[in-house]
Amino acid sequence: MAATSMAQALNAALRDALSENERVLVFGEDVGQLGGVFRITDGLTAQFGEQRCFDTPLAEAGIVGYAVGLAMGGFLPVVEMQFDAFAYPAFEQIASHVAKIRNRTRGALSIPMVIRVPYAGGIGGVEHHCDSSEVYYVATPGLKVVTPATPADAYTLLRAAIDDPDPVVFMEPKKLYWSKEDTELRYDSEPLGRAAIRRSGKDATLIAYGPSVPVAMQAAKVAAEDGLDLEVVDLRSLVPFDDETVTASVRRTGRCVVVQEAQGFAGFGAEVAARVQERCFHSLSAPVIRVGGFDIPYPPPMLEHSHLPGVDRVLDAVDRLQFSDEPDGRYLTGVRA
Amino acid sequence: MSSTETQPEDTPIDHRTDLLRQMLRIRRFEERCAELYSASKIRGFLHLYVGEEAVAVGVTHALSEDDALVSTYRDHGHALARGVPMDAVMAEMYGKATGCSRGRGGSMHLFDVRRRFYGGNAIVAGGLPLSVGLALGDVMSGRRRVSACFFGDGAVAEGEFHECLNLAALWQLPVLFCCENNLYAMGTALNQAQAVTDLALRASSYGLTSWPVDGMDVIAVAEAAQRAVEGVRAGAGPCFLELRTYRFRAHSMYDPDRYRDKEEIERWKQRDPIDGLAADLRAHGELTDDELSGIEEGIKKELDQAVAMAETAPVEPVEDLTRFVYAERPR
Ligand SMILES: Cc1ncc(C[n+]2csc(CCOP(=O)(O)OP(=O)(O)O)c2C)c(N)n1
Ligand SMILES: [Mg+2]
């Protein structure tokens, strides 16, 4: 088995989808010869030709809109937005058309397309280049929203997104592009919508997705040294949401912390917390606690470590799960605003 | 509407040596930034303007202090030429609290409201509507000011570009559109992105005055900008300059630059705006070697000092992380 990075896994997923189905098309800004800003489309034009992987002019609304037309015409477009914030010019097409056409035509038309969005921070970027924009998409019925946390999942989920009959916003945590894993890339046509238990534990459940999964895993490791056994659930798919896995886990552990990198107010974690308390109320021994970024535009490199929820802030939240009536302050080590 | 090259003889430009000094100042600043980036002193994204200095210097030369300027993410040259102090720009590159955006903008979002420098903008074409709005505000309040905006050839593909040219022409707004046509938008060549690559011609179809200018010749740029600004200020409606230029370096520090051939880059380097003007000044006896090294020394001193100040300046305190998202009540 070879060590594969998430970027390589995504590239392989596009390559394999292009090989297996001639209706798959890849396009966007600089995805051809340059291979994309993050090189996710590297070599695809060389291998499949400009009919299958091509550059478009710099106009995001157009890129997404053309994909809608192509999808209506029987193609399977996979378009790239260069960064989170550069998808905003396309939001009009996404919210008004991509998400609505199936419903508007009462199922006569499907829009099987994928919009790839590199998102979130941790790479020393600034605003526009590190936004956690998932909440805009999850709040738009008609869109599926998926985000991998490992190279193996990046491959599987992108393949499944391309195969999916609905439009999928595929959110790539850019700080994990270079993270590696010894894995075989495999896709067995499993549909989207299943969370994964990354680590089993009995004392509390950490629910995370995308860039916050490694943070939750690290927190669980540190907590284990202190005798706390934390379970980590990686959502993978935000829409559809895997209530079953989440509910079963929290009912088992009785305590829950939701970890997201995005700003906290009305973030996706709020939806998770609401669902958990609706379904697990009688199993809960403590309120569901959210850990997230602050409610600010993404800060510059010198300050991003203070903004991003790290292991300390997660452990701080775990500490508030009322394991005993006396807070023991074991994990009260984090930076607090 | 015209589409002819300006004649360099039109209006004589004084201070040719000062234009040279300004271009050199931008060049040396950015060369230092590239070094500091490699040393991880400057982080985030860094887009250098090397090769395009004549555009910023020539255009800002024609603007008065009262006029507004809206920039792009390739904004170091614009800011320095506009008079934003070098130490404030360098501190901003470092992300320090003494920076012109208090460390919050970084390389791509330099701001100086006092100098009516309304910022770099990481969103391609994001600045054009702001300049149109600034101009509309001036018209509504009866002020005779010009709002200039820079943007690249890539911006021409975005919808906002077309909306802005149309509205400015329709309402005869005092906007100076400055298109920095360096033939590439990141890895995409202009002729791969536009059916009509003559961007001045393209702009003229919206009903505004436009013409192409040799963007490698600071005198040509300064003269064209002066002529354009005079018309815009006099109420003749918006004007569009297509400044034909070239970036000598990659799109950003991340870009492997594998979409252009080396020969093309070398050909353009032969037209380096700094070398060209320096040679011309020398040939006309307007610049001696001693004078040139004096200029270089002055710039080096200013630069060393800017770096030293940035190095020791504080970062915004972490307690301020959540400030300025909304208006603050007096404390
Ligand atoms: C709306 C938007 N889409 C995509 C990008 C990513 N991007 C940054 S610069 C760039 C190329 C812009 O080219 P151009 O306007 O010609 O300016 P130049 O870099 O040549 O100065 C692209 C695609 C962006 N910043 N904003
Ligand atoms: Mg360009």
pLDDT digit string (tens) for A165-221?
999 999 999 999 999 999 999 999 999 999 999 999 999 999 999 999 999 999 999
How far is Cα of residue A303 from the mean position of the Cα atoms in its chain? 23
Q: What is the pLDDT of residue B276?
A: 97
Q: What CA–CA distance (Å, rounded) separates B100 from A42?
A: 38
* Residue nearest atom 12 in ligand 1 by C-alpha distance: B185
Q: Which residues make up the environment of ion ligand 2, defined by Cβ < 5 Å?
A: B 152-153, 182, 185
Q: What is the pLDDT of residue B258?
A: 87
C-beta B153 within 6 A of ligand 1: yes
Q: What is the pLDDT of residue B83?
A: 98
pLDDT in tens, B289-299: 999 999 999 99
CB–CB of A58 and B45 under 8 A? no
Helix axis angle, B53-62 relative to B16-38, nearest 10°?
Answer: 130
Q: Which residue has the tokens 């040596």?
A: B17
Q: Which amino acid belongs to residue A148?
A: P
Residues in chain A with pLDDT < 70? 325-337
Q: What is the pLDDT of residue B62?
A: 97
CB A64 within 8 A of CB A94: yes
Confidence band (pLDDT; 50, 70, 90) for B4?
A: very low
Give me the residue spans of the domains in chain A.
3-182, 196-319
Minimal Cβ distance to B259: which of A33, A37, A306: A33
Average pLDDT, chain B: 94
Q: What is the pLDDT of residue B289?
A: 94
Q: What is the pLDDT of residue B39?
A: 97
Tokens of A242: 């895997």
Spatial neighbors of B312 by CB under 8 A, at least 6 apart, are: none
CA of B28 to the centre of ligand 2 (A): 22
CB–CB of B104 and A300 under 8 A? yes
Query: What is the number of the ligand 1 atom nearest to the C-alpha of B124?
Result: 26
The b-or-e profile of A22-49 (16+ CB within 10 A means b, else e) is: ebbbbbbbbbbbbbbbbbbbbebbeebe
Q: What is the pLDDT of residue A126?
A: 84
Minimal Cβ distance to B45: which of A32, A58, A125: A125
B120 touches chain A (CB under 8 A): no
Can you tell me the ipTM of this complex? 0.91
CA distance A205 to chain B (A): 29
Please give the interface size between A and B, counted as residue pairs whose CB atoms are below 8 Å apart: 108
Task: List the single residue in A with minimal CA-CA distance to B41.
Answer: A302
Q: What is the pLDDT of residue A336?
A: 43
CB B103 within 8 A of CB A300: yes
Helix (H, G, I), strand (E, B) or coil at A5: strand
Q: What is the pLDDT of residue A322?
A: 87
Query: What is the number of the ligand 1 atom nearest to the C-alpha of B156?
Result: 15
Report helix, strand and coil shares of chain B as percent, to nearest 5: 45, 10, 40
Q: Which residues in chain A have Cβ-Cβ distances shorter than 8 Å to B158?
A: 58-59, 89
CB–CB of B325 and A296 under 8 A? yes
Helix (H, G, I), strand (E, B) or coil at A39: coil
Confidence band (pLDDT; 50, 70, 90) for B254?
A: confident
Confidence band (pLDDT; 50, 70, 90) for B6?
A: very low
CA of B193 to the centre of ligand 2 (A): 11
Name the helix (H) or strand (E) containing B181.
strand B175-181
C-beta A134 within 6 A of ligand 1: no
Q: Which residues in chain B have Cβ-Cβ distances shorter than 8 Å to A55?
A: 187-188, 192-193
Spatial neighbors of B305 by CB under 8 A, at least 6 apart, are: B87
Write down the catalytic residue from A97, A128, A129, A305: A129
- What domains, with CATH codes, occur in chain B? 16-311 (3.40.50.970)
Query: What is the number of the ligand 1 atom nearest to the C-alpha of A88?
Result: 1
Q: What is the pLDDT of residue A326?
A: 61
Q: What is the pLDDT of residue B329?
A: 78
CATH number of A196-319: 3.40.50.920
Q: What is the pLDDT of residue A2?
A: 81
CB–CB of B321 and A302 under 8 A? no
* Residue A129: active-site member: yes
Name the helix (H) or strand (E) containing B303.
helix B289-312
Q: What CA–CA distance (Å, rounded) separates A145 from A161?
A: 9
pLDDT in tens, B30-82: 999 999 999 999 999 999 999 999 999 999 999 999 999 999 999 999 999 99
Q: In angstroms, what CA-CA distances link B224 with A284, B15, B155, B215, B241?
A: 72, 16, 21, 10, 8
Check: pTM over 0.90? Answer yes or no: yes
A50 touches chain B (CB under 8 A): no
Q: What CA–CA distance (Å, rounded) separates A303 from B314?
A: 12
Nearest-CA neighbor of B12 among B213, B215, B217, B219? B219
CB–CB of B154 and A85 under 8 A? no
B187 touches chain A (CB under 8 A): yes
Spatial neighbors of A67 by CB under 8 A, at least 6 apart, are: A27, A77, A79, A98, A113, A115
* Residue nearest atom 4 in ligand 1 by C-alpha distance: A86
Q: What is the pLDDT of residue B331?
A: 59
A58 touches chain B (CB under 8 A): yes
CATH of A3-182, one of 3.90.1150.10, 3.40.50.620, 3.40.50.920, 3.40.50.970: 3.40.50.970
CB–CB of A335 and B318 under 8 A? yes
Q: Which residues in chain B have Cβ-Cβ distances shorter than 8 Å to A125?
A: 44-45
C-beta B123 within 6 A of ligand 1: yes
Query: To the nearest whole percent, how much of chain B has pLDDT over 90?
Result: 91
Tokens of B111: 């701001």
Q: What is the pLDDT of residue A127?
A: 86
Q: What is the pLDDT of residue B13?
A: 57
Q: Residue A287, preceding bond cis, omega within 30 degrees?
A: no
